[in-house]
Every structure is written in structure tokens, then in C-alpha cells.
A = this chain, B = another copy of it.
Amino acid sequence: MFDLILFVVIVSVLALVAALLLTRWVLGKDTGNEKMLEISNAIKEGANAFVKRQYTTIAGLSLLVAALMFAVYFLIGNIDFGIQTSLAFLFGAFCSGLAGIIGMWISIRANIRTASASTRSMNEALKVALRAGAVSAITIVSMSLLGVTVLYVVYQLAFGLTPQEVPFVIVGFGFGASFVALFAQLGGGIYTKAADVGADLVGKVEAGIPEDDPRNPAVIADLVGDNVGDCAGRGADLFESTAAENIGAMILGVVLFPVFGLNGILFPLVARAGGLIASIIGIMSVNVKESEDPMNALNRGYYLTAVLAIIGFYIVTMLLLNNIYFFFTGLIGIITSVLFVWITIYYTERKYAPVRSIAEASKTGHATNIIAGLSVGLECTALPIVTLAAALMSSFIIGEMSGAPHGGLFGTAIATMGMLSTAAYILAMDTFGPITDNAGGIVEMSRQPEKIRKITDRLDAVGNTTKALTKGYAVGSAGLAAFLLFSAYMVDAKLTGIDISKVPVFTGAMLGAVLVFLFSALAIKAVGKTAYSIINEVRRQFKEMPGIMKGKVKPDYARCVDICVQASLKEMIVPGVLVVAATVAVGILLKTEALGAFLMVGTITGILMALFMNNAGGAMDNAKKFIEEGNYGGKGSEAHKASVTGDTVGDPLKDTAGPSLHVLIKLLGTITLVLLPLFL
């Protein structure tokens, strides 16, 4: 056992060292001219202010939940479990928060360095942005791995638990991680889109000034938003995915203890370590030629990572489980991740029919643009769900063929691990997005020459794609990981089935589904409300300070940032509390079987709605970009105005509600596990 744990710890620590070296490399790059630095500092200031207030709020909420959890378990006389779970919860919450903060810390330093590098070459700019993204990605994945491993060892030593008992307790770690992730993603998502919608509507539509124009008072708030939503939020999201998957798979490993012994429990950790190595090599391999589409370079790195992950998976599976069938199920997971990426690209890239259809519908106005966007969003759920269904069924059947008891379920678990083995690479590409977006903003605002803008525009467009495909990947992995958490729930609740033909269980299923709708409504409404105050503020500044539009007076950026911070933090509380309260209510009133249906049908609905919102938003965004390239009349045409409306409508869908739903799905999975003793 100890050699395996040692291997995992060494890989995690080495990965953290690699992240440190990459950080030094990124920070060693120059920070461009003074004008650039001024803008970058404004972004940095706004981001720091938001994160400080956000994490103070989240820390308070986490302490409250930990105290409540402990109190409840104390009252029902389950003190040991209360202490262990509450501590694991706080540790998970802390790690998740730290991962988010580190991600943002590097991003707000890399944006200006990317901007400056783009004055020299595209390859250098791409590398700075990707490697800075990698810092965040590697830190997140290795901290999640290290956190679970450390808890696994420490809880055995400190509390005298057996190796089979620990996984049930360290579920608290996953709960802590998802709890923080929910608020980080929600708060960040509300912030970023309220600022974006506000800036776009008054700036582009009313005042007719371009995106990232320094005369727009909301422009800094918008650039800050990219960091707090995409970096901190998605980082916490995927931190949680990997943690939940590790823990869920370990619980299944406990069930399989008679077959594989400790190897079954430790397999997820070792497999994850292998994936981490594959991702780091993939990231370091990326180089782009000046004439080439940067997306090709990123894809090459991704495919290299996938191939290395497959090889690593083969070695780990044969060494630990000695069963080729489980290698095949892992392979299914890796293939599923590639398919999800392709499908997302098809639905959100302007090369393909869906985005084109939205752009064409813009010719007949705002309404037809939105109708087309909504129908693309609804349609795009079909292929991913069929893929997920095929992955589940085939890994289940192959797992059954392995001959191990519960082999089918373990097969689906290993498919999940396969899917998540490239997580660090995907996450690096994702964080690449906001960094290049910010770099583009800095270049635009510091009025660099056209040639340099072209470079950042190209990188920015690639960043939009990577952001979209990460969301596709995150939904897919959330779906698979959720099935793992269901299985763990069934084991823990000692249920033999979840029969939705029973009235209370069906009721639980209905409530799980409606929770997703209500949560989405609250998230979207929050953006609308916050954006509304931004719009009014920008209009006020334009009106009271006419010098702004002439470029003579500097707008009051800080005031817009401040309004956004306050409103978004206020608005994230209600949806967050709703999720926790609804779960507790269903568990207490309808009991464990109904809660299982609540969890499962809530997850299905959550995956569908997340796919719908992410891809509708992504496609409408790119339809606008397609028109801006000069199609259907180009910038300033009626079609363009309609497409801006579509982009704006898509914003809260794709960057607030959608990504928050990934987290919601996993939060449901961990919260039901942690609170289970209350409902038995």
C-alpha cells in the first residue's frame, strides 16, 4: 500500500514543483509599456477586491455549515463522524478556495505578459498564456489528488479508521470542495456576466463604441469578470470534479475490496497521477508556427496527452487490477472526452451549420436570432446525451465481462477516471481563454497597432473555443462522476434499488428536476438585476460627464467594479441556500430512496440544462463573431445588432447558470452522501 501512496504523493509534489517553475518562467516575462501596466493594474485591483470579499463571504458560510453539521451529528449522538466529516469539509473548502485564488493570481499577472509577448510573436504569446493556464491547472489537479491522499493516510493514523472506512468519511472533503465551488462559480459567474452584459449593452449598442473601449466605464469590470468567473470559478468546478470522482471511485473500491484488496481503493489515485504526468508533458509540447491556426497547436498537445494517458492507463490497470477489461472501460472514458470536445466544437464553431443558422436568422432581426439560438441550444443536447448513454452502457457491459462482482459498476467508474485523466490539459486550455481575452483587452485599451491586435484577436477567438469545449468536457465528466456518486450513495444508504414507480420516489424525482429549473432562474435573474444597475451607472456617467465620450475625461471604473461586487455577492446566497435546503427537506420528508431519485433525475435535468445553456450561449456568441467578420452586412448592420442581442442573452446562460449547474450536480452528489446519516 505504502509504495502506491508514496508514488501518488511524489507525483503530486513534483507536479506542484513543475507549477512553481512554470510560474517563475511566466513571471520572468516582461510587462510591456506603461500604458499596458496601468490597465493591468486596474484589472488586478478589481479582481483582488472581488476575491477578497467573495472568499470572506464563502469562508463565513463554510464555517457556518461545518458548525451546523457538527451540531447535528452531535445531537444525534454520532460525534466521531461529525468531527471527521466537518474537518474534511473544512479542508476541502480550504483547498478549493486556495486553488481558485492561485488560478486567479497567476491569470491577472499573465494577461499583461501575454499582451506584451504578442508584440513579439504569436508563439510566445500563446506559450505564456497556456503555461500560465497550466500553473492553475496543475495546481488544481495535484492539490485535489494530494488532499484526498493526505486525508486518506492521516484519518487512518489519527482516528484509527480502517482503509475501508476512510472513503466514507472523506466524502466531506468533496462536499467542502463543491460547496465552495458552487459559490465561487455562481458569484464569479454573476459578476462576470453582469459586467459583460452591462458593458456591451450601453457601450456597443447605445453609445456605438467598440468592445474594450477605454471610454466605457464598465470595461474594467468586464475584464475583471473574465478572471473571477472563468479562472476562479471553473478552477473550483474542476477541482471538485476530480475530488468527487476520486472519492466516489474509492467507495466503489471498498465494495470491491474482496476482489482487488487495497489496490481497488487506491487505483483512482494512481490512475489520476498518471493522467497528471501525461497532461504536463502535453502542455510543455505545445508550439505554434506564425502562419498556423493556434487551435491546431493546442489540438496536437491534446491528442498527445490523450495517447499518453491511454498508455499510462494501460500500465496502471494491468499492474493494479490485472484485468484488461478495465483498461477498455478506461479507454471508453478517454474516447468519450474526445467526442464531447468534438461535439461541442461542432455546435459552437462558426465553421459549422449551427452557428451559421443563427447568423443567418439574424438577418430577419432580434427575435429570429434568439429563436434560432434557443433551438440550436435545445438540439445540441442530443448527441452528448447519446454519447454519455453509449459510454455508460458499453463500460457497464465490458465491466460485467471482467468477471469481477459489481464489475459493471466498477467499469463505469473507471470510464469516469479515463474521462478525467486529461483534466489538467483541458483545464490549462480553459484558463488560457480568459488570459488571452484580458490580453486582447489590454492591447485594445492601450491602443496598440493593428498587427498586434490581430494576434490577440486570433488568440482570443481560440480562447473562446477552448472555453466552450471545457464546458462540454466539464458537463460530460460531471455526468459520469455523478453516476459514480449515485453508486456510492446506494452503497452508503444500503439501498438495493431506486424505484421511481413508487409515488414518493417519483415525487422526489420531480423535485430534483424542478430544483435545476428554479436554480437556473435565480442565477439568470441575478445577472439581469446586477446588469441593470451597471447599465444605469454607465448611462449616468455618460450623461453627467460628457467628456468621457470625447476621450478627455477618464470614466469612474472603480464605481462599476464596486456595484458589481456588491450585487453579485448578495445574489449568490439565495440559490446556494436553496440547493442545501431542498436536499435536506427531501431527505427528511421523503426519505433515502426518494432522495436518490431526487439526486439522479436532478442530475439528468442538470446535464441537459447545462448543455442547453452552455452551447446556446456559445453558439450565439460565435454567430455574432461570424457576422463581425463581414458576413450578412458585418459590423453595424441590422443583422449585427440582432446578433449582439443574441450574444447578450447567451451570456448569463453560458457563463453563469450553465457552469453553476455542473457544480450543482456534483454538490447534490456529495451533500446527499454527507447528510445521509440524518435521513436513515
A408's closest neighbor in chain B, by CB? B503
A607's closest neighbor in chain B, by CB? B510
CB of B507 within 8 A of CB of A389, answer yes
A563 CB to nearest B CB, Å: 15
Instruction: Apart from A371-B527, A372-B528, A495-B501, list 18 A-B contacts with CB within 8 A.
Output: A361-B532, A368-B531, A368-B535, A370-B645, A372-B525, A375-B524, A385-B511, A389-B510, A389-B511, A392-B506, A393-B507, A396-B504, A483-B506, A497-B501, A500-B600, A501-B596, A601-B601, A605-B605
**A:634-666 near B, CB below 8 Å:** 644-645, 648-649, 652-653
Q: Quick check: is A412 within 8 A (CB to CB) of the other chain?
A: yes
Q: Quick check: is A604 within 8 A (CB to CB) of the other chain?
A: yes
A364's closest neighbor in chain B, by CB? B535
State the interface size on chain A (CB cutoff 8 A): 77
CB of A506 within 8 A of CB of B378, answer no
CB of B601 within 8 A of CB of A503, answer no
Q: Which listed residue, B379, B412, B528, touches A521 by the CB 8 Å rule?
A: B379
CB of B201 within 8 A of CB of A365, answer yes
List, in ascending order, chain B residues with CB within 8 A of A361's CB. Answer: 528, 532
Q: Quick check: is A382 within 8 A (CB to CB) of the other chain?
A: yes
A513's closest neighbor in chain B, by CB? B604
Count copies of this chain in the complex: 2
CA distance A520 to B511 in the complex (A): 22
List, in ascending order, chain B residues with CB within 8 A of A511's CB. Answer: 385-386, 389
List, in ascending order, chain B residues with CB within 8 A of A632's CB. Answer: none
Q: Quick check: is A36 within 8 A (CB to CB) of the other chain?
A: no
Q: Quick check: is A281 within 8 A (CB to CB) of the other chain?
A: no
Q: Mark interface residues in A370-402 (1 if CB within 8 Å of B CB, else 0).
A: 111011111101100110110011001000000
Interface of A toward B, CB cutoff 8 Å: 197, 201, 205, 361, 364-368, 370-372, 374-379, 381-382, 385-386, 388-389, 392-393, 396, 408-409, 412, 483, 486-487, 490, 495, 497-504, 506-507, 509-511, 513-514, 517-518, 520-522, 524-525, 527-528, 531-532, 535, 596-597, 600-601, 604-605, 607-608, 612, 644-645, 648-649, 652-653
List, in ascending order, chain B residues with CB within 8 A of A408's CB. Answer: 503
CB of B645 within 8 A of CB of A514, answer no
CA distance A37 to B73 in the complex (A): 77
Q: Which listed residue, B201, B381, B520, touches A364 by the CB 8 Å rule?
A: B201
List, in ascending order, chain B residues with CB within 8 A of A517's CB. Answer: 378-379, 381-382, 608, 612
List, in ascending order, chain B residues with CB within 8 A of A522's CB. Answer: 375, 379
A201, A365, A372 interface centre (most CB from chain B within 10 Å): A365
A487's closest neighbor in chain B, by CB? B501
CA distance A497 to B361 in the complex (A): 47
21 CB < 8 A contacts A-B: A197-B371, A364-B532, A366-B645, A370-B649, A371-B524, A371-B527, A371-B649, A374-B524, A375-B524, A378-B520, A378-B524, A382-B514, A389-B507, A392-B503, A483-B506, A497-B497, A497-B501, A498-B501, A509-B604, A513-B604, A605-B608
A191 CB to nearest B CB, Å: 16
List, in ascending order, chain B residues with CB within 8 A of A514's CB. Answer: 381-382, 385-386, 608
A553 CB to nearest B CB, Å: 24
CB of A652 within 8 A of CB of B382, answer no
CA distance A337 to B502 in the complex (A): 23
List, in ascending order, chain B residues with CB within 8 A of A374's CB. Answer: 524, 649, 653
List, in ascending order, chain B residues with CB within 8 A of A365's CB. Answer: 201, 205, 645
A400's closest neighbor in chain B, by CB? B503
Instruction: Tell whether A393 pairs with B504 under 8 Å between CB atoms, given A509-B601, A513-B605.
Output: yes
